[in-house]
Each structure stands twice: as structure tokens, then as C-alpha cells.
């Protein structure tokens, strides 16, 4: 089975499975297609994390490919221009939006190198065959899907550059994404990107080296130097993924495997540890007390993330404490007595959600769960290359001396947490999500839905969600107001989202005695395909 947020990507991966490819072949093929058909959610110049489980080969590994700060960056370079922080704590507002859009917003990308390493080390297909379907979509075109059109028109949040500005920042962007009259292309319009097709053909032939050390690296370097970018060829040559064992936690009678910092897996494990202390089934799904309890766990994990979690090569992350059962029991005790956590924030707006996900389970029991992204896309497309670069500098804290502060070679924190939950050594849930800072919150709720409420996978990803990444409780508009009225009366600020779905877009595969069932969040365009 494969589940992905784009039908084109899911089908491309399913075709690989039909041809005898393994889960890694299918996942990376789908990911390449995602970089073409969802080109602001992800790209070859993006970042992410992949968890690979291959029991027959004795493999259980995470490939972390977060973007790293270019060597030219300095800790205080935007301190004087700092204006605020996003309400959900996943980005900073700098005067002129230079950390958010344009050449200075770009970190050293990791996605392409991770794709290459995954196929080289764990795949069974030839590299060129994995890249080929994406080339087809770039050259032959694809239709603007509902979620792409929605994000183009509604993806900007207060204080952030509008998506249209990103799409129209370069001449290439205007040629690809705008109509002849200068307006954004609309639902059903065709998009072709021949420049990206040519770039992918070079990558198919030359592998990742052509991008990081070859002629594409030269072209990237020339464009960055001509336009005041921080990124340079030396940053590309220096870049390396971080590989190792997943972060391990437990929840009731299951083992939870997720990613390590600077990813969001530590938040997921911390929240599950806290909530294990409560009889959630007895509280009832999405009841008043359930929402309060889960939100307080979210607030504690968010505060801990803000204070302690960053790139472990630069920050001493107290991982043992944050994931300990004793600490969780202490927090749960405070929640049980009605104590409220406080999440400190600078004034500021809320971050949009722009990432994507793919999950695969093959016939041999191999599993891949991978989330990859551009952050908020920079809008920059180097002439002739066709792909948009990430805009990950916007999440770094312009204030020196903090866990998320800027430093050369440092990776930003991200909430992405591709996760595999096992029982007795056998995968039971393969899950992940796009959704900015809400990813860990969405994955948490879907995991609880499966293991505490025994929901089917499609129901687990589609029932209404809520979140609290500040002192505010945000709720889906499908949660009735009478449920949260007691919380409002008790002094909680409740903000109702205008959309029916949200707080990440969960995609998962549930495994029950070898039977696979999939769920693709109905708020996006994705599908689950059983092969």
C-alpha cells in the first residue's frame, strides 16, 4: 500500500510496487513526483526526514535531511529587524520579509541527497528509473489540483509574504504559474515546467553529485552570488545527511519509533508519555475534558521544544528528561489538578502549512514513512533550473543564544515526525503528515484515534482535530461549540478555524494481522492505493 497527498505521486509509487519494486523504490519515486506536481509543498531543494524499516535486511534507520544554515550566516544578522514571532511558534517576522522570501531565506537543501542515498543503499530500482516519472510530469504537464489552488490563494498568514509574491518573484515563476493576464493559474489549468524536466534529466544521469558538486552546483552558486544569497557552492559540497537509529518511545503496549531532533519526534514521544497517564477512552473522544487534557500536554511539549530542542550538533538537548516517563507523570499530575501551562510568545501571526508526506508498506513488510518540505518556499527559481528553493531561514530565531538561534551549518527545528508504531516487533501504524508546526499535533491525535479509540485508518485521519501551540486552543469548525463552551467559561481562549479540516494533514497505513488499510486526509488531495 502507498498513501500520499497527491494522486499522481501515489499512482507513480503504486506502479513501482506493481513492477516488483520495494517500499523505498516506491517512496522515492512518489517523492520525486511530489516535487513536480506540488512544487511549493516540496522540492529537490527542500528538506525532511525519512524512516526506513526493512526487517529482512535488519535495517531500521532514519535519514535526516534538514536544511542547514549557509556558512555566511551570523547569529545576530537580523536581530535589529526582528518584529515578532508567529502565534504557533514556528517562524519569526523580520522587517522586509528577507528571512521568509528571496535569496537570503534559503538554507542548504538536503532532499535530493537523501533521495539518492535511500535508493543507493536500500532500493532495488535503477536511479534513472526512479526519476523518470517525475520528468514526465514536468515535461508533459499536470493539472492544478484543488489543494494546490487553495494554497496559492489562501496559504499566506498574517505577517507572511503572500504566496502569489513567491510564485511571481522570478521570471521563471511567472512563466510557469501565472496566466497570460498575470493572474494565478486556476483549478484545472495545466502547468508544464520544461526547465525542471531538463534539470531532472541531468540528475537522472549524474545522480546527486551533479547538484552538490557538479554543473548544477556551479549554476546555483552563480545565481546566489549575483543576487545576494547566503548559499554558495561550498555549502553544497559540505552538506551531509544525518543517519542513525530512530528515537524510541513506548505508548501503552506499543513501541513508537520516530525521528530525533531537530525533528518533532521528541514532542510526539513526550506528549504520548504524558497522555499515557490518563484513561483517554473513558474521557471520550473530543469531549471537553479530552480536549483540555490533550491541549495541556501539547502546551508543555511546545514550551519544552521552544526552550530546549534544536540541532543536537549545536544544542545540548535534554532528550532523556524530555522523553522520560517520570517527567511525563509529573506533568500529568499537574494537568490532572487543573494546572495550566503557559507558552511564551512574541506578538505575531500564524504560520501556514506547506509540506508533504508519503508512506509505503510493501509485500515483504518493508516500511517507509517520509515527510519533506520547502518550509515556506523562498520564491527563488534560478533561471534554467525550474525548481524553487526552500525558505527555511524564516524559522531560525534572530535572537542569539537560544536553541533555535542562527549559526553556520545549523539545522532548524521542524515539527515533522514520520513515525512507525509497532507491537511485538511488527508494524501496526505507519504515519506522518504535512502541516507546519501542527504536524506533531496531528500525528498525535491520529495515533490516539487508532490505539485508544480503535478507529479505522480513514476515520482516524478525518475526524475533527484541535491544537494548542500557544495559550490559545484552536479547534476545527466541525467541533461543536457546546463542547468548548465550558473551556471558554473557564478562561481559555478558543479560536475556531474557518476550514473543516486542518491541524496537519495526516496520511497513514494501519496494519492488522497483515491486512493493510490506508487513510489520506480529506483536507488534501491524497489517496491510499492498495496494490
Write the pLDDT tens digit of every residue in 129-151: 999 999 999 999 999 999 888 88
The two beta strands, 472-475 and 493-496, are parallel
Q: Answer whether residue 467 shows pLDDT above 90.
A: yes
**Residue 39 in grid coordinates:** 512544487
Query: Mean per-residue pLDDT for 350-369?
Result: 84
Q: What pLDDT does residue 55 have?
A: 98
Beta bridge partners of 516: 511
Catalytic residue among 69, 86, 108, 355: 355
Give the rounded percent of residues in the chain with a pLDDT score beyond 70: 95
**pTM score, whole prediction:** 0.95
Domains in the chain: ranges and CATH:
2-42+61-237+374-395 (no CATH), 244-349+416-516 (1.10.246.130)
Q: What pLDDT does residue 164 have?
A: 84
pLDDT band, residue 183 (cuts 50/70/90):
very high
pLDDT band, residue 345 (cuts 50/70/90):
low
Query: Mean per-residue pLDDT for 383-404?
Result: 92
Residues 150, 341 contacting (CB under 8 angstroms): no
Residues 365, 422 contacting (CB under 8 angstroms): no
**Residue 268 in grid coordinates:** 510526539
Q: What pLDDT does residue 155 have?
A: 64
CA–chain centroid gap for 514, Å, is: 28
pLDDT band, residue 347 (cuts 50/70/90):
very low
| Cα gap 176→234, rounded to integer Å | 30
Q: Answer whether residue 2 shows pLDDT above 50.
A: yes
**Residue 323 in grid coordinates:** 522523553
| Cα gap 239→223, rounded to integer Å | 19
Residue 419 appears among annotated catalytic residues: no
Write the pLDDT tens digit of every residue in 157-178: 544 667 888 899 999 999 999 9
Write the pLDDT tens digit of every residue in 286-315: 999 999 999 999 999 999 998 999 999 999
| Cα gap 495→477, rounded to integer Å | 9
pLDDT, the chain, mean: 93
| Cα gap 126→172, rounded to integer Å | 31
Alpha-carbon distances of 326 from 74, 276, 302, 321, 329, rounded to whole Å: 38, 12, 18, 8, 5
Please report which helix (H) or strand (E) contains residue 173, including its range: helix 171-177
pLDDT band, residue 45 (cuts 50/70/90):
very high
| Cα gap 249→421, rounded to integer Å | 9
pLDDT band, residue 499 (cuts 50/70/90):
confident
Cβ neighbours, 10 Å, residue 451:
22
pLDDT band, residue 83 (cuts 50/70/90):
confident
Query: Mean per-residue pLDDT for 395-403?
Result: 89
Q: What pLDDT does residue 505 have?
A: 94
Amino acid at each position: 500500500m502507498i498513501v500520499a497527498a497527491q494522486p499522481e505521486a501515489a499512482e507513480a509509487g503504486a506502479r513501482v510496487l506493481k513492477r516488483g519494486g520495494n517500499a523505498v523504490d516506491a517512496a522515492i519515486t512518489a517523492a520525486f513526483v511530489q516535487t513536480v506536481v506540488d512544487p511549493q509543498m516540496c522540492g529537490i531543494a527542500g528538506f525532511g526526514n525519512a524512516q526506513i524499516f526493512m526487517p529482512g535486511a535488519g535495517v531500521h534507520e532514519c535519514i535526516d535531511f534538514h536544511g542547514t544554515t549557509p556558512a555566511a550566516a551570523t547569529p545576530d544578522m537580523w536581530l535589529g529587524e526582528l518584529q515578532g514571532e508567529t502565534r504557533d511558534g514556528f517562524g519569526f517576522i523580520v522587517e522586509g520579509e528577507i528571512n521568509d522570501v528571496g535569496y537570503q531565506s534559503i538554507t542548504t537543501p538536503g532532499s535530493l541527497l537523501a533521495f539518492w542515498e535511500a535508493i543507493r543503499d536500500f532500493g532495488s530500482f535503477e536511479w534513472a528509473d526512479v526519476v523518470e516519472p517525475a520528468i514526465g510530469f514536468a515535461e508533459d504537464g499536470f493539472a492544478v489540483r484543488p489543494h494546490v489552488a487553495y494554497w496559492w490563494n489562501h496559504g499566506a498568514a498574517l505577517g507572511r509574504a503572500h504566496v502569489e509574491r513567491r510564485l511571481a518573484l522570478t521570471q521563471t515563476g511567472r512563466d510557469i504559474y501565472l496566466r497570460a493576464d498575470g493572474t494565478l493559474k486556476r483549478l484545472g489549468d495545466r502547468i508544464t515546467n520544461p526547465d525542471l524536466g531538463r534539470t531532472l534529466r541531468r540528475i537522472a544521469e549524474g545522480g546527486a553529485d551533479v547538484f552538490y558538486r557538479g554543473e548544477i552546483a556551479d549554476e546555483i552558486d552563480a545565481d546566489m552570488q549575483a543576487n545576494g544569497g547566503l548559499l554558495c557552492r561550498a555549502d553544497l559540497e559540505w552538506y551531509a545527511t544525518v543517519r542513525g537509529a530512530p528515537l524510541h518511545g513506548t505508548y501503552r503496549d506499543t513501541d513508537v519509533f520516530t525521528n530525533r531532533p531537530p525533528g518533532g519526534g521528541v514532542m510526539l514521544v513526550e506528549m504520548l508519555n504524558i497522555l499515557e497517564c490518563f484513561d483517554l477512552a473513558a474521557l471520550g473522544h473530543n469531549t471537553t475534558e479530552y480536549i483540555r487534557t490533550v491541549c495541556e500536554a501539547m502546551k508543555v511539549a511546545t514550551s519544552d521544544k521552544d526552550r530546549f530542542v534544536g540541532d543536537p550538533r549545536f544544542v545540548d538537548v535534554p532528550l532523556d528528561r524530555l522523553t522520560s516517563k517520570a517527567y511525563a507523570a509529573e506533568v500529568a499530575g499537574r494537568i490532572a489538578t487543573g494546572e495550566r501551562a503557559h507558552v511564551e510568545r512574541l506578538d505575531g501571526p500564524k504560520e501556514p502549512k506547506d509540506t508533504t508526506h508519503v508512506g509505503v508498506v510493501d509485500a515483504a513488510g518493508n516500511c517507509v514513512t517520509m515527510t519533506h518540505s520547502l518550509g515556506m518556499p523562498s520564491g527563488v527559481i534560478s533561471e534554467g533550473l525550474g525548481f524553487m528553493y526552500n525558505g527555511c531561514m524564516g524559522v531560525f530565531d534572530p535572537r542569539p543564544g537560544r536553541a533555535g538561534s542562527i549559526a553556520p551549518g545549523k539545522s532548524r527545528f521542524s515539527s515533522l515526525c514520520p513515525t512507525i508504531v509497532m507491537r511485538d516487533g511488527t508494524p501496526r501504524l505507519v504515519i506522518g503528515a504535512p502541516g507546519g508546526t501542527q504536524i506533531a499535533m496531528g500525528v498525535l491525535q491520529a495515533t490516539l484515534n487508532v490505539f485508544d479509540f480503535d478507529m479505522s485508518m480513514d476515520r482516524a485521519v478525518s475526524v475533527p482535530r484541535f491544537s494548542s501551540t500557544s495559550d490559545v486552543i484552536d479547534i476545527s469548525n466541525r467541533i461543536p461549540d457546546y463542547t468548548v463552551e465550558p473551556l471558554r467559561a473557564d478562561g481559555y481562549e478558543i479560536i475556531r478555524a474557518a476550514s473543516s479540516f486542518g491541524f496537519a494533514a495526516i496520511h497513514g497505513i494501519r496494519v492488522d494481522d497483515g491486512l493493510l488499510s490506508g487513510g489520506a486526509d480529506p483536507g488534501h488531495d491524497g489517496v491510499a492505493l492498495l496494490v
